Amino acid sequence: MKRSLQSTLLLLLFIVVLLLAPVLLPEFYVTLLNYIGLYAIVALGLVMLTGVGGLTSFGQAAFVGLGAYTSAYLTTVHGVSPWLTLPAGLLVTGVVALSLGLVTLRLSGHFLPLGTIAWGMSLYYLFGNLDALGGHTGMSGIPPLQFVELELKSGREFFYLIWAVLLVLVLGTRNLLDSREGRAIRALKGGSVMAEAMGVNTPRSKIVVFTLAALYASTSGWLYAHLQRFVNPTPFSLTQGIEYLFMAVVGGVSHVWGAILGAGLITVLKQWLQDWLPRLLGQSGNFEIIVFGLLMIVVLHRARDGVWPMIQRFFPQRLICARVDGVRPLTRRPLPEAGSVLLEVKDASKRFGGLLANDRVSFGVRAGEVMALIGPNGAGKSTMFNGISGVDPLTSGSVSFRGEPIEGLPAREIARRGMSRTFQHVRLLPSMSVIENVAIGAHLRGRRGFVAAACRADRAEESRLLHEAAVQIERCGLPEQMYEAAGSLPLGKQRIVEIARALAADPCLLLLDEPAAGLRYLEKQALADLLRRLRAEGMGILLVEHDMDFVMGLADRVLVMEFGQKLAAGRPEEIQRNPAVIEAYLGGVE
Amino acid sequence: MSTLPEQPERTVVLEVRGLSVNYGKVEALHGLALKVHRGEIVTVIGPNGAGKTTLLSALIGLLPVRGEIVYLGERQGAGRSVEQLVRQGMTLVPEKRELFAEMSVEDNLLLGAFDRYRAGHRDHLETMDQVFDTFPRLMERRNQMAATLSGGERQMLAMGRALMAKPRLLLLDEPSLGLAPLVIKEIFRTVAQLKRLGVAILLVEQNARAALQVADYGYVLETGELSLEGPSSELSMDRRVIESYLGLGGRL
Amino acid sequence: MDLQIALLLGQDGVTNGAIYALLALALVLVFAVTRVIFIPQGEFVAFGALTLASLQAGRLPGTVWLLLAMGTLIALIEGAAALRKRHFRRIPLILLLNCGAPLLLAGALVAVSSASLPLLVQVFLALLLVVPLGPMIYRLAYQPVAEASVLVLLIVSVAVHVTLIGIGLLFFGAEGSRTPSFTEVSFEVGDVLLQGQTLLVLVASVLLIIALYFFFERTIYGKALRATAMNRTGARLMGISGSLAGMLSFTLAASIGAFSGILISPITTIYYDSGFLIGLKGFVGAIIGGLASYPVAAAGAILVGLLESYSSFWASAFKEVIVFTLIIPVLLWRSLTTRHVEEE
């Protein structure tokens, strides 16, 4: 509580400084701050897109241009009020960003930025060549913004508007990232497989975050048009788009305040370099880009997180508080009756090119039992897991879960039906705290969306989600590590975090891929105890594991695979005596 | 535990003492000690997930290690790299084979001699003939794309490619993986032949029986630690090997 | 549009397309081997053309200074590393290669009046000045982050591009240059006049593509590059290190870039920032090939050249808009035909 008071005080102090700035500073600095504010709005969108979502765009300047030109055109040619052109600009930008996103976001990561380069170029040339938009000379006579009687004609007056918008967006973005949908966006960086398995619709999250970033840029463009009251294509070129990315990266691409810092640093540096470099070099020209480019390379080599983390140390950290008294726990789904069939796999086959990784395997898992899948390396166990959970669908065969066919469904739909899983190669977000990682598992148990998150209307639900995450972490025996960064835990403990995350989804079938790997003896015992308790509650558990002591002591039934086929199935003691199994494990030479 | 008596006349190619490897903060291998002599096949067997592949990756310089590695009488420093070890005649045949799928068998073999070519040796054609002698099947398939080969042929190609570098120490990672018993037999017969060429071989296998049949000496790796060692003939009789594989210890 | 104009435009399109195709091939190569999306490719075109123009005008090209500066920086970095590892014997070689060679070249250029040299020698000198910049840039900007994600490498590329544009302006000024034609010959085929220079561009491009084919198919170094592109781990285990492959592919890309610049400088006026647009069009071609297929990339690049040429006739103001918007349907097509794969 003390920390949050501190950060509120710091925020208030920042606002007071902003209120006083235009009164105390000379015109030149107010103008500079106005530009910093405008750039920071765009950079903020990039923080969300690049630093948080792991996507990137060089074409943000073109989106700024869309906002600016829409307003310029509608106000000067059609006499529309500037207050109506803001939504119009947002609409145009939104439609463009949405369609561009739909086209590129299914492709692997680098096609989006390449697309935005081409797109940025083409829009820039379009602005410069459309007669209706004034060609290369641009459009002038854009009306100023007006609040009832007050016309925002001077930079000092405009300052308040720009910084108010920026501040609202910064706080809104911060709130958003600290919410259910925000966690889904942050999960994108770890690859879409994990997020999808936790029920996140990753293409939707990507498109939303890309469109939001574009809308921020468009807002900045609208402000720019009415501040300058003149637009031409130059500030919307690809070079400017690249500069926006520099701002975000130099400032600190994973931090909302890094956007303001980066915009400030680059803008001041540019101003200064533009004064000095031509004198130094005895030529005129935009030589500051040499310094920017080199600076950027050094930042990417030496401090990929930018400057903000170095400053952040002096500020209090925001902590999430997971345990609020009187929270109503989330409702749980009714577990199927113990002994009833949960999962039924029939003739499951998976082909990779010429290799048959799974060859007509059939088995079932009942509620309230632990079923173990074992076999030598390369026997096709993880492939089977991916096939069942929808991560990498089977080539043929059928899978039914709680009586419904699920083969061919996307992973998130299977997750919604009550199947949750962990991964052989741990897929946690290393820089996020354990509790936030686990809360991703509860994604499908909340409903609040982006808007609610941005204006903090989601707090009741959020505390229920965090409460659930905390309960699962405690149940798995990691209460002390709840607020630590997940990446700082030893690998064995990270696997336990994965189990807590899977449990937060309230599953009735749990798929565990090598849960005991990397655990010490006592930790293995604790894990076995936990799984026994879950089984007693009526949960079905399917696990792949190499530690035979662990498997044989825990499993009710064991399925042995070799060469993608079912080799044997039965109770552990039967399997241990089965000559074919001993052959498969120890190998036979004919 | 039994150890071999010292035999000073045999040169030690590789000696490892107190070797530990971490993946992030987790120790994957702990305090390993092993020795490989010239012309000897040493096997490290153990169940899945024991750390066998980690051991080989660490030896070839793909992973940072703690502890002491002495190769060809020289203690390996912190600056060791895969490229440098390859230059000094250490070659790994990886578990995943890592062939150049869209290239012909012949080109795959040729690239096995890349480092020797770069160092100025131009004997790759003769070496290739020797490889073809060892693996006549590769000769028949010389113009075929590597991707079109069968599982056993791929393993032969991976081994043939490694031999093109004229290695002094050959690290074999699970050559039997995913192969049918008859093919395994053929592969292991070749492994035994290589020994006669004076190559030292460190063979990592899950298939304990096949490995112990060709090897001179064996170690059992269990969850990151060497739990047993001894001449292969003794190990293959040892009940504890089976127990470590199938969890018959019943400790949980 | 009558047939004659159509043929003329086609000739233009194919000529430019051939250049774009060369650049597209280099881009695919660099991406396949190093995962770097080589945005600065275009700067090599501009530097090649402008260095040649400087030499022909008898000026000392600014690229000499860049070569010296980067060489010194590399010598410092490598020298420090050699000292730390106590590899004292390597230091003379490091100095000779990175400082000595550029100094020698600079000295030669100061001593001789480059304007009076025969054209081929000038071309050779220009290549000698520009091509080493490729591996040097790889060493300085990319090698330290070679393991980073494609996204980080892409941002590095953009940073390198911006830096080189600024340096280009500093060295060559805002004025454009056009070098005299290599040949004044022209042919009449039917009604159409074929310029010798255009034909030269075509023939040279085709020859270069054939040379590249031989390099990749017949030489062990070419095969090593292909092997790295196919399987990085496998290649490493054969002693083909990532940095060797990186340097090699950047050398090739820089040669292709500089050579393309020299080829087209008699046809178009080249400014310090023209390379970027030319490079981007190569890019559109490379993307049509999915950054993976050489023949499709080359065909795509020729298509870009033709599209550009014909749209300059129909809607000259929107030429660039049309060319760059082409990427949207291409991406859509790619998106619909490729199955999504997770990047690890």
Domain boundary among B165, B181, B198: B165
Give the gap in angstroms from C-alpha C233 to the nearest C-alpha of chain B. 7
The reply to whether residue A300 touches residue C324, judged by beta carbons under 8 angstroms, is no
Mean of the per-residue pLDDT values for chain A?
90
Q: CATH number, domain at A375?
A: 3.40.50.300
The Cα C222–Cα C212 span in angstroms is: 9
Which of B23, B30, B48 to mutate: most A Cβ within 10 Å? B48
What average pLDDT score do residues A254-258 get? 92
B239 close contact with A: CB closer than 8 A: no
Q: Is the pLDDT of residue A320 over 80?
A: no
Q: Do B86 and B53 meet the contact criterion of CB atoms below 8 Å apart?
A: no
The reply to whether residue C324 touches residue A119, judged by beta carbons under 8 angstroms, is yes
| Order of all β-strands in the sheet with A370-374 | A419-421, A509-513, A540-544, A370-374, A557-562, A565-570
Q: Is the pLDDT of residue A549 over 90?
A: no
Interface subset of B 134-193, CB within 8 angstroms of A? 174, 176-178, 181-182, 184-185, 188
Q: Do A512 and A541 meet the contact criterion of CB atoms below 8 Å apart?
A: yes
A492 and A522 in a common domain: no
pLDDT for residue C276: 92
C118 close contact with B: CB closer than 8 A: no
Q: Do A175 and A454 meet the contact criterion of CB atoms below 8 Å apart?
A: yes
C120 close contact with B: CB closer than 8 A: no
Q: Is the pLDDT of residue A422 over 80?
A: yes
pLDDT single digits (tens) A183-209: 999 998 887 899 999 999 998 999 999
Q: Is the pLDDT of residue C254 over 70?
A: yes
B172 and B63 in a common domain: yes
For residue C236, which residues of chain B lie inside 8 Å, CB to CB?
Answer: 82-83
pLDDT band of residue C161 (cuts 50, 70, 90) is very high
Cα-Cα-Cα-Cα dihedral sign, residues A90, A92, A98, A103: negative
A360 and A306 in a common domain: no
| Order of all β-strands in the sheet with B66-71 | B26-37, B12-23, B66-71, B74-75
A13 and A37 in a common domain: yes
pLDDT for residue A40: 98
B223 close contact with A: CB closer than 8 A: yes
B197 and B220 in a common domain: yes
pLDDT band of residue A355 (cuts 50, 70, 90) is confident
What average pLDDT score do residues A280-294 get? 90
For residue C237, which residues of chain B lie inside 8 Å, CB to CB?
Answer: 60, 82, 86, 91-92, 94, 98
pLDDT band of residue A589 (cuts 50, 70, 90) is very low
Closest CB to C331 among A111, A245, A283: A111
For residue C233, which residues of chain B lie inside 8 Å, CB to CB?
Answer: 94, 98
Of A105-114, A504-513, B141-150, minimum mean pLDDT range: A105-114
Closest CB to A121 among C158, C160, C320: C320
For residue B174, which residues of chain A lie inside 8 Å, CB to CB?
Answer: 377
How many separate domains does chain B show? Answer: 2
Mean of the per-residue pLDDT values for chain C?
90
Of residues C247 and A493, the one with the higher pLDDT is C247
Of residues A390 and A119, the one with the higher pLDDT is A390
A80 and A144 in a common domain: yes
pLDDT band of residue A586 (cuts 50, 70, 90) is low
CA of B115: which chain C residue's CA is closest?
Answer: C239
Q: Is the pLDDT of residue B87 over 60?
A: yes
Cα-Cα-Cα-Cα dihedral sign, residues A579, A584, A589, A590: positive
What average pLDDT score do residues C329-344 get? 65
- Most confident of the following: A180-189, A319-328, A515-524: A180-189
Asked whether residue B7 is domain-assigned, the answer is no
B127 and B150 in a common domain: yes
Interface subset of C 213-272, CB within 8 angstroms of B? 220, 223-224, 226-227, 230-231, 233-241
pLDDT band of residue C294 (cuts 50, 70, 90) is confident
Of residues B223 and C296, the one with the higher pLDDT is C296
pLDDT for residue A318: 63
pLDDT for residue A577: 85
Q: Do A328 and A464 meet the contact criterion of CB atoms below 8 Å apart?
A: yes
Give the gap in angstroms from C-alpha C319 to the nearest C-alpha of chain B. 39
pLDDT band of residue B178 (cuts 50, 70, 90) is confident
A528 and A501 in a common domain: no
B216 and B112 in a common domain: no
A206 and A76 in a common domain: yes
Structural domain including A462 reads 428-506
B29 and B135 in a common domain: no
What average pLDDT score do residues A303-324 get? 77
pLDDT single digits (tens) B206-242: 888 889 989 999 999 988 889 899 999 999 888 888 7
- CB contacts < 8 A (B, C): 64
Closest CB to A290 among C152, C158, C163: C163
Closest CB to B245 among A377, A518, A585: A585
CA of B163: which chain C residue's CA is closest?
Answer: C238
Query: What CATH number does the domain located at C3-58+113-337 have?
Result: 1.10.3470
For residue A9, the surrounding DSSP H or E stretch is helix A2-24
CB neighbour list of residue B234: distance below 8 Å, 6 or more residues apart: B2
Q: Do A117 and C286 meet the contact criterion of CB atoms below 8 Å apart?
A: no
A244 and A214 in a common domain: yes
Q: Is the pLDDT of residue B4 over 50?
A: no
Q: Which other chains touch chain C, taking contact as 3+ CB pairs less than 8 Å apart?
A: A, B
A142 and A223 in a common domain: yes
The Cα C24–Cα C301 span in angstroms is: 7
pLDDT band of residue B251 (cuts 50, 70, 90) is very low
For residue C338, which residues of chain A lie inside 8 Å, CB to CB?
Answer: 107
Domain boundary among B136, B165, B194: B165
Asked whether residue B95 is domain-assigned, the answer is no
DSSP, collapsed to helix, strand or coil, labels residue C16 as helix
Asked whether residue A328 is domain-assigned, the answer is no
pLDDT for residue B5: 45
pLDDT single digits (tens) B17-41: 999 998 766 678 999 999 999 999 9
pLDDT single digits (tens) A127-179: 999 999 998 899 999 999 988 888 888 888 999 999 999 999 999 999 999 89
The Cα C330–Cα C322 span in angstroms is: 13
pLDDT for residue B159: 96
pLDDT for residue B8: 46
Which of B22, B238, B244, B246 to mutate: most A Cβ within 10 Å? B246
Q: CATH number, domain at B185?
A: 3.40.50.300
Give the gap in angstroms from C-alpha A481 to the nearest C-alpha of chain C. 27
Domain boundary among A477, A506, A535: A506
DSSP, collapsed to helix, strand or coil, labels residue B100 as coil
Asked whether residue A458 is domain-assigned, the answer is yes
For residue B33 the two structure tokens come to 């000690």
Asked whether residue A326 is domain-assigned, the answer is no
pLDDT band of residue A323 (cuts 50, 70, 90) is low
Alpha helices in chain B (DSSP H): 52-59, 82-87, 105-112, 114-118, 124-134, 136-140, 151-163, 181-196, 208-214, 232-235, 239-246
Domain boundary among A268, A297, A312: A312
Q: Is the pLDDT of residue B7 over 50?
A: no
- Most confident of the following: A336-340, A441-445, A576-580: A441-445
Quote ipTM for the complex: 0.92
Q: Do A268 and A250 meet the contact criterion of CB atoms below 8 Å apart?
A: no
Closest CB to C237 among B82, B103, B118: B82
Q: Do A55 and A49 meet the contact criterion of CB atoms below 8 Å apart?
A: yes
Asked whether residue B155 is domain-assigned, the answer is yes
Structural domain including B154 reads 101-165
What average pLDDT score do residues B42-50 get? 85
A290 and A277 in a common domain: yes
pLDDT for residue B6: 47
B189 and B79 in a common domain: yes
Give the gap in angstroms from C-alpha A115 to the nearest C-alpha of chain B. 29
How many separate domains does chain A show? Answer: 3
What average pLDDT score do residues A519-540 get? 89
Asked whether residue A323 is domain-assigned, the answer is no
DSSP state of B5: P
A78 and A201 in a common domain: yes
A361 and A234 in a common domain: no
Give the gap in angstroms from C-alpha A43 to the nearest C-alpha of chain C. 15
Question: B155-179 in b/e burial notation, b at 16+ Cβ within 10 A?
Answer: bbbbbbbbbbbbbbbbbbbbbbbbb
The reply to whether residue A589 touches residue B205, judged by beta carbons under 8 angstroms, is no
The reply to whether residue B103 touches residue C233, judged by beta carbons under 8 angstroms, is no
The Cα A464–Cα A460 span in angstroms is: 7
What average pLDDT score do residues B125-149 get? 94
pTM over 0.80: yes
pLDDT for residue C289: 82
DSSP state of C115: G
The Cα A500–Cα A510 span in angstroms is: 11
Domain boundary among B165, B192, B217: B165
DSSP A399-433: EEETTEE-TT--HHHHHHTTEEE--SS----TTSB
B211 and B147 in a common domain: no
The Cα B224–Cα B51 span in angstroms is: 5
pLDDT single digits (tens) A40-77: 999 999 999 998 888 889 999 999 999 999 999 999 99
B31 and B70 in a common domain: yes
pLDDT single digits (tens) C106-154: 999 988 888 889 999 999 999 999 999 999 999 999 999 998 988 899 9
The position carrying tokens 């982006």 is A450
Give the gap in angstroms from C-alpha A83 to the nearest C-alpha of chain C. 31
Q: What is the largest CA-CA distance in chain C?
A: 73
